[in-house]
Amino acid sequence: MSYQLKQANISLNKKPGFVALVISTMGLTLGALLCVLTLGYVLLYKPLPYPDQERLMVVDHAFIDQTRNGQPGKVMFKAFTYPALMALQNEPTAFLETAFISRKQGVLTNHSALPTVEATYVTPDWFTLLNIPMKFGRAFTPSESIDSYNPVAVISHKSWQNEFAATPDILEEKVEFGGVSFKIVGVTAPDFVEPQVYRVRRQTQLWLPWDFDPLNEADRKNWGRIFGARMVGKLANGVTPRQAEQVITPIVNNQWQAAMAGNPQNAGRSIRLELRSFESVILGDSAQVIYLLLASVFGLIVIATTNIANLFMSRTAQKQRALSIQAALGAKKRHLFQALLAESALAMFYSLLLALMVSSVGFWLLQQYLHTLLPRIEEVSLNAFTLGAALVIGSLIALLLARLGAASINYKALNTTLQSSGKGTGVQVSKRLRQVLMVCQVAVATVLIFVNIGLFKAAIQSINTPMGFEAKNVHSLTLASASATLPPANDALPVIEQIKQTLTALPQIASVSHTSSPLDTFGTWMPGLSTVGGNEKIRAEYKVVDEQYFQLIKQSKLAGEFFSSQEVRDKKSVMIVNESFAQLFSVNPTKPIDFLGKKLVFRGDKAFTVIGVVKGIEVPGKTKAMPRVYVIKRPSGPERTRNRLAFTIKTKDNQSVSRQQLVEAIKGVSSQFTANQWMSLVENRHQMLFTQYTWAITTAVLTLLTIILAGIGLYGIISYAVQMRKFELGTRMAVGAKRADLIRLIITDNVGSMLLGVLISVITLIGLFAASGNELQLNITSMVMIFILTFGVISLVSLSACYLPLRGFINRPAMFSLRNND
């Protein structure tokens, strides 16, 4: 074989163009495949880097309404209550270990730069469950267990480097967060990979003991929902997740039922605890992304391999004289196959070297640009799996290429080749094989182009959807408390109002609204709003706004009025609704004025009077405008300071304000609060549309690659066929065929294969849509339009592939085609 490899190397060196085409085509596509395969391996199969990771579970606390909408057992929402967490503490049957976690974003108030950090409150078991390695100091120990109130902190390695300049004396430092000073007792090791149980790429910078979670005493005692708190645990030996659910659900549900006894609102409701594996929580819906990417790159590989197979077979045909001489000298079929295999193996080896480089670049790009979209990206790198996959795929393709090349050799006919001056038919790619290659190319390319255009269209549609308000110069600001617990609303709101006045007075600022950003999450009223005396409950999102809000963001008014300063001061029970909400009450969309004056109630409390109807806003990435209402005050319950810490601020044209300037301005009013997060809505919108941008770019690149590869492939196949028919074409020209006649001839000969390819793709697409339930959310018109576009692209590519190889013959005198043949 070494002789064959040496000869193959010499032979390939003589064809640098052929080698470059093979290596670039296969290197790029295999590189993409290895990159996505490795990503898929890490996300779907590679065990999490924690001990007994398969037994690590996240517990969901679901409120069940047994009777809701006639659907027994429907989950109303999922959120823990504090008493439920405490009831499960040290549960001995289902779990070996449990830990509680909750999160908070805030400011390190003793740090000169006042950085905003992500903090996670944890019980000590969090460190042992994950076996978190430490660079310095220690993790939390039983000295930080619940109710110990020991103010210590562990910081991440990255935070140590960024916020503390990697000082070696870090264990001498303290951090002040949420009004409490914590002594740093440890720094996590740089190789610790944090499980992203909240959202992709949320990286904790500061771990604090669970006791310091800013829940006040009342919150800790009542059964109210505490969003953001999680329970995680390691299942006891031999216990399945379902068995664990059956053990822990009654513990919580019985206590909750007892506590809620006599409360008619909770009749028919219950608590159910549900376990999800760490893996599935961290993976989220990323599997769909992976499968889609895998399908796309596999499609590209099929097209690329078809192209290269055709190239190899054409090359084998070109080498028939050399093969004939070898056969004449005693080479058996096996020897010829070995020669072909050596050549294809060598070409694939070089391609794989390029592929590994391409995949490395791909890993870097993934880590740079997709880290907010996909979990565990930092674990994606060249590894044994990548190398193994490269070896297997490369070997299979090399074998396939050699096999196809060998199949095109007519060993018996080779001997006559020498007698006919090398013009024999010892090596020919059969017409049938060429047709199969063409059908394959067209079918795969059509499917890929259709799906990618569909995804591209959906992404572009989301990106281009107007938000329904003006984001230019508009920013969101959230305040952080400098104390451990937030002051009560009665004390805090006057201070916050002063802060608003101070910010308004800044020369760069045009307007301030004491309202959270329109891109922030809206609240939800449950069970919903109804007309006075009506039974039907309409669920709607709500936002508490002030008189500046609508004018500041320039949200369009369809009817009525915005809130006046007087109404805000008097906290009037008035309401502004968006058109989606009005339409739920059967209001004529062209006459929203009909909805004015309508009175709506929530849980029988005092009615809100609708005084205005506004056009809906579209939150980027959401599919439709939600029914929403805007009020001056919450419909029930006491005002809470934590709900009033956000501002929407508009700066003057060509003016900017830094977070540091805001910090200074707020410091002049009160030391109770500081600026937490300051972000422009334009930037916020871009962040929210990150997934759509990513998909738009990815699908555009995949579509282009598919078109280019399919174009090259079809050109290669038809070019070979035209080359084989050069003599026939010359003869036809000799008897009077014009250029148009010959173009028509080649198109007619290939149109059947192309249409068959398209037909197969249509069947495949129908199958895919049936199986996936129209994940692309395309209506029939869009599907037809996209299909017409796809068909147009494929037709254009195919027709070009028919015409281009012909140019060399039909644009020259007929003698050119006949020369050397007669």
Contact between 658 and another protein (CB under 8 A)?
no
Q: Which segments within 685-787 are labelled E, that is strand?
A: none
**What ranges in 267-319 are assigned the alpha helix state H?**
278-283, 286-318
Q: Which two tokens stand for residue 776?
A: 């692309």
Q: Which of 332, 796, 813, 820 binds another protein (CB under 8 A)?
A: 813
Rounded to whole angstroms, the Cα distance separating 60 from 14 reads 65
Of 411 and 816, nearer to another protein (C-beta) is 816
Contact between 637 and another protein (CB under 8 A)?
no
Of 20 and 734, nearer to another protein (C-beta) is 734
Residue ranges in 661-720 that form contacts with another protein under rule CB under 8 A? none
Q: Which residues, at least 6 apart from 478, have a Cβ–Cβ distance to it below 8 Å?
A: 516, 645, 646, 647, 675, 676, 677
Rounded to whole angstroms, the Cα distance separating 384 from 381 reads 10
Of 258 and 735, nearer to another protein (C-beta) is 735
For the bound state, the minimum distance from the C-beta of residue 810 to another protein, rounded and expressed in Å, comes to 7
Pairing verdict, β 152-155 and 206-209:
antiparallel
Q: Which of 401, 733, 786, 793 binds another protein (CB under 8 A)?
A: 733
For the bound state, the minimum distance from the C-beta of residue 425 to another protein, rounded and expressed in Å, comes to 10
Is 517 within 8 Å of 676 (Cβ atoms)?
Answer: no
Contact between 731 and another protein (CB under 8 A)?
yes
Contact between 810 and another protein (CB under 8 A)?
yes
Residue ranges in 10-49 that form contacts with another protein under rule CB under 8 A? none
Of 571 and 812, nearer to another protein (C-beta) is 812
Specify the amino acid at residue 460.
I
Count of residues for the chain?
822
Is 758 within 8 Å of 791 (Cβ atoms)?
Answer: yes
- Tell me which stretch binds another protein (CB under 8 A): 66-74, 355-363, 687-695, 736-744: 736-744
- Burial classification of residue 759, based on how many CB atoms lie within 10 Å of its CB (0-12 exposed, 13-18 middle, 19 or more buried): middle
Of 357 and 734, nearer to another protein (C-beta) is 734
First to last CA, the chain: 40
Q: Which of 472, 569, 815, 820 binds another protein (CB under 8 A)?
A: 815
Q: Which of 396, 593, 741, 784 binds another protein (CB under 8 A)?
A: 741
Residue ranges in 156-215 that form contacts with another protein under rule CB under 8 A? none
Contact between 727 and another protein (CB under 8 A)?
yes
Contact between 807 and another protein (CB under 8 A)?
no
Of 769 and 816, nearer to another protein (C-beta) is 816
Contact between 811 and another protein (CB under 8 A)?
yes
Contact between 821 and another protein (CB under 8 A)?
yes
Rounded to whole angstroms, the Cα distance separating 440 from 772 reads 23
Q: Is 134 helix (H, G, I), strand (E, B) or coil?
A: strand
Residues forming a β-bridge with 602: 529
Of 735 and 770, nearer to another protein (C-beta) is 735
What letter does residue 613 receive in the DSSP assignment?
Answer: E
For the bound state, the minimum distance from the C-beta of residue 422 to another protein, rounded and expressed in Å, comes to 15
Of 245 and 728, nearer to another protein (C-beta) is 728
Among the listed residues 244, 294, 266, 199, the one whose alpha carbon sits nearest the alpha carbon of residue 60: 244
Interface with another protein (CB under 8 A), residue total 24
Rounded to whole angstroms, the Cα distance separating 809 from 358 reads 38
Q: Is 587 helix (H, G, I), strand (E, B) or coil?
A: coil
Of 502 and 731, nearer to another protein (C-beta) is 731
For the bound state, the minimum distance from the C-beta of residue 417 to another protein, rounded and expressed in Å, comes to 17
Q: Which of 199, 221, 591, 738 binds another protein (CB under 8 A)?
A: 738
Q: Which residues, at least 6 apart from 814, have a Cβ–Cβ distance to it below 8 Å?
A: 730, 733, 734
Contact between 734 and another protein (CB under 8 A)?
yes
Among the listed residues 387, 452, 361, the one whose alpha carbon sits nearest the alpha carbon of residue 28: 361
Q: Which of 218, 329, 384, 735 binds another protein (CB under 8 A)?
A: 735
Among the listed residues 536, 629, 520, 540, the one whose alpha carbon sits nearest the alpha carbon of residue 577: 629
Is 81 within 8 Å of 215 (Cβ atoms)?
Answer: no
Q: Which of 21, 539, 739, 760 binds another protein (CB under 8 A)?
A: 739
Of 608 and 809, nearer to another protein (C-beta) is 809
- Whether the upstream peptide bond of residue 627 has omega within 30° of 0, thus cis, is no
Q: Which of 85, 185, 793, 814 binds another protein (CB under 8 A)?
A: 814
Contact between 298 and another protein (CB under 8 A)?
no
What letter does residue 162 receive in the DSSP assignment?
Answer: H
For the bound state, the minimum distance from the C-beta of residue 813 to another protein, rounded and expressed in Å, comes to 4
What DSSP letter does each residue of 320-357 carry, written as one string?
Answer: HHHHHHHHHTT--HHHHHHHHHHHHHHHHHHHHHHHHH
Q: Which of 418, 615, 732, 804 binds another protein (CB under 8 A)?
A: 732
Contact between 489 and another protein (CB under 8 A)?
no
By the criterion CB under 8 A, which residues form the site for another protein?
727-728, 730-741, 810-816, 818, 821-822
